[in-house]
């Protein structure tokens, strides 16, 4: 479960307090319909709906990705977030990166930027926050930072813009580039496109793939059967429940991601790419392996300690058994 930091959750509550619940609900419904039809945020009510219903989910996905690469992030000090929206990634970064001291956020929509500024103002001290209003598809280059991120943005770009932005983002990343997209076929397809470009540019994949070979799920994806994605559970805050008229206290957000490093990295372990299936007497794990194969590993009770460990593993974990 990835909960919003209390300060952020309180700031959202304050910003949305005066908005009647029925208006917020309608705006959320309208926004999700727009996303389904490939349309983007248009009105201030859509932005408020984004703050209530989507920001907690993108925060959760980002926070979980950061947990998966904690050891790489720990020493890093500067971060550039492109298409920052209301800055949810900055909050996750401050949580995850103990040595972070500067974040630059690029955002095209001035209202999103203003809302993000008011959420972050004085709340992320002592990390310096610089907001820049800019269209990332027009930039010839971005300022260098140790980490560069694009979270839920590639989805909003054309293939040509995606190639331009990913190329420039990689150039600007001194150490690591992180891409996160919705865990939909389109999100995976954008990640796949970026993956090929980045490997050709000399990038080394840190996660989720434990290899640099073509994605072994790509053939199943072409047949419309499967794609690589993960899941994070998000608790629903007051505004979140108001927005969705929801009774469940949580929801699941699916996402796809890619982390690419500029340095040579030791290969990572096999990755669990589906929810483990717990049966009486055995656990079924679906793995993407270091030799770029899809493998089903059945860990049975007779394997003793390994079986006990396997029961605690989750979708998205590295499998070291
Ligand atoms: C779905 S939101 C994601 C926001 C944020 N990254 C997050 O994870 O919550 C996409 C954001 O990208 C911004 N965006 C889309 N195209 C852009 C561009 N060409 N230049 C700058 N920002 C852009 C949008 O204005 C919007 O705020």
With a Cβ cut-off of 6 Å, ligand 1 is lined by 55, 58, 83-85, 88-89, 106-109, 112, 135-137, 151-153, 156
Nearest CA to ligand 1 atom 23: 83
Residue 176: strand, helix, or coil: strand
The preferred substitution site among 46, 53, 57, 83 for testing ligand 1, maximizing ligand atoms within 8 Å of CB, is 83
Which of the listed residues 156, 163, 183, 253 should we mutate to test ligand 1's pocket, taking the one with most ligand atoms within 8 A of CB?
156
CA 25 to chain centre: 25
How far apart CA 131 and CA 85 sit, in angstroms, is 10
| Rounded alpha-carbon distances, angstroms, from residue 64 to 31, 38, 107, 118, 199 | 25, 26, 23, 25, 24
Residue range 71-100: average pLDDT?
A: 97
Q: Which of 147, 153, 258 is nearest to 195 (CA)?
A: 258
Give me the pLDDT at residue 112, please. 96
> Is the separation of the CB atoms in 89 and 62 below 8 Å?
yes
pLDDT above 90 (res 244): no
* Sequence-separated (6 or more) residues with CB below 8 Å from residue 277: 283, 284
- What confidence category does residue 287 fall into, taking pLDDT thresholds of 50, 70 and 90? very high
Which ligand 1 atom is nearest residue 106's CA? 21
The answer to whether 131 touches 105, Cβ cutoff 8 Å, is yes
| Structural element, H or E, at residue 289 | none
Residue among 227, 253, 249, 229 nearest 238 (CA): 249
**What percent of the chain lies above the pLDDT cut of 70?**
100
- What distance in angstroms lies between residue 266's CA and the mean position of ligand 1's atoms? 33
Give the integer Cα–Cα distance in Å for 54 and 278.
31
The residue contributing the CA closest to ligand 1 atom 13 is 83
Token pair for residue 274?
A: 């589906």
Q: How far apart are CA 180 and CA 248, in angstroms?
A: 26
Does residue 214 surpass a pLDDT of 90?
yes
265 pLDDT more than 80? no
pLDDT surpasses 90 at 197: yes
Tell me: the pLDDT tens digits for 10-61? 999 899 988 888 888 888 888 888 888 888 888 999 999 999 999 999 999 9
Bond into 280 cis (ω within 30)? no
Task: Evaluate if residue 260 carries a pLDDT over 90.
Answer: yes
Q: By mean pLDDT, which of 40-44, 94-98, 242-246 is the weakest?
A: 242-246
Pick the residue whose CA is nearest to atom 27 on ligand 1: 85
Residue-level pLDDT at 4:
94
Distances (CA, A) of 257 to 69, 157, 207: 12, 16, 8
pLDDT at residue 161, rounded to an integer: 98
Question: 62 CA distance to ligand 1 centroid (A)?
Answer: 14
Region 67-73 average pLDDT: 95
What the chain holds in terms of domains, given with CATH numbers, is: 6-261 (3.40.50.150), 270-319 (no CATH)
Structure tokens at 89: 């990634």
What are the beta bridge partners of residue 181?
256
Q: Judging by DSSP bridges, how do beta strands 282-288 and 250-261 pair with one another? A: unpaired
- Cβ neighbour number for residue 207 with a 10 Å cutoff: 20
């Amino acid at each position: 479960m990835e909960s919003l930091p209390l300060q952020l959750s309180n700031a959202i509550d304050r910003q949305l307090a005066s908005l009647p619940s029925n208006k917020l609900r309608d705006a959320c419904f309208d926004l999700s319909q727009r996303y389904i039809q490939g349309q983007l945020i248009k009105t201030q009510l859509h932005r408020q709906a984004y703050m209530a219903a989507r920001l907690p989910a993108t925060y959760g996905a980002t926070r979980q990705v950061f947990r998966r690469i904690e050891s790489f992030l720990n020493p890093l000090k500067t971060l550039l977030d492109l298409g920052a929206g209301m800055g949810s990634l900055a909050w996750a970064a401050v949580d995850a990166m103990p040595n972070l001291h500067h974040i630059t956020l690029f955002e095209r929509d001035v209202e999103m930027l203003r809302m993000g500024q008011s959420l972050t103002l004085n709340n992320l001290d002592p990390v310096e926050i610089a907001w820049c209003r800019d269209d990332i598809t027009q930039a010839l280059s971005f300022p260098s930072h140790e980490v560069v991120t694009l979270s839920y943005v590639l989805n909003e770009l054309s293939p040509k813009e995606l190639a331009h932005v990913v190329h420039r983002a990689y150039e600007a990343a001194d150490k690591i580039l992180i891409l996160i997209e919705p865990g939909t076929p389109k999100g995976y397809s954008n990640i796949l496109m970026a993956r090929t470009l980045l490997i050709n540019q000399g990038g080394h994949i840190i996660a989720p793939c434990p290899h640099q070979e073509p994605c072994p799920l790509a053939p199943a994806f072409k047949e419309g059967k499967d794609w690589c994605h993960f899941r994070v559970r998000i608790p629903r805050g007051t505004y979140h429940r108001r927005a969705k008229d929801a009774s469940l206290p949580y929801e699941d957000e699916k996402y796809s991601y890619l982390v690419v490093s500029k340095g040579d990295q030791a290969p990572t372990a096999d990755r669990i790419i589906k929810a483990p299936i717990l049966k009486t007497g055995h656990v079924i794990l679906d793995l993407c392996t270091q030799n770029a194969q899809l493998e089903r590993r059945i860990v049975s009770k007779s394997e003793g300690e390994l079986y006990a460990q396997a029961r605690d593993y989750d979708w998205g974990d590295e499998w070291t058994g």
